[in-house]
Amino acid sequence: MWWINKKSFIDSERDKLTKLSKEDVNRALMLIASPPVKTYLLSLVDELVRQGIYLDEKQREGAKFMVELLGNELEKGTKLLHQKKK
C-alpha cells in the first residue's frame, strides 16, 4: 500500500531541519529575538504559565519544558543580536 511509505508531516519537517546551516540557525534565532516575534512568544509563555495551574501533571511537565526551551532560545537570539550590534 502506498500510504505506508508516505512520510508524515513531522518526519518530512525533521528531514528539512537536518539540512540547516549554522548561518540559518543564527538568522532564525535573531528573528525569534526581534521585537514583534519576541513579544508574541513572551505573551504565549506568559499565558502558558497562567494556564498551567489548570493542567494535569503530564501537561504541566510539558508546559515547563516548553517554557524552558523557548526561554533558552530567546536568550541565545538576544545574545546574537547584541553581538551583531557591537
pLDDT tens digits for range 41-64: 999 889 888 888 888 889 888 888
* Host domain of residue 66: 22-85
Mean of the pLDDT values across residues 22-46?
A: 90
Mean of the pLDDT values across residues 15-42?
A: 87
62 domain-assigned: yes
61 domain-assigned: yes
Query: Is the pLDDT higher at 78 or at 19?
Result: 78
73 domain-assigned: yes
Q: State the Cα–Cα distance between residues 79 and 30, nearest whole angstrom.
A: 9
At 61, list the grid cell.
511537565
14 domain-assigned: no
Checking if the pLDDT of 34 tops 80, the result is yes
Mean of the pLDDT values across residues 19-36?
A: 88
- Number of independent structural domains in the chain: 1
Q: State the Cα–Cα distance between residues 47 and 54, nearest whole angstrom.
A: 12
- Residue 1 pLDDT class (50, 70, 90 cuts): very low
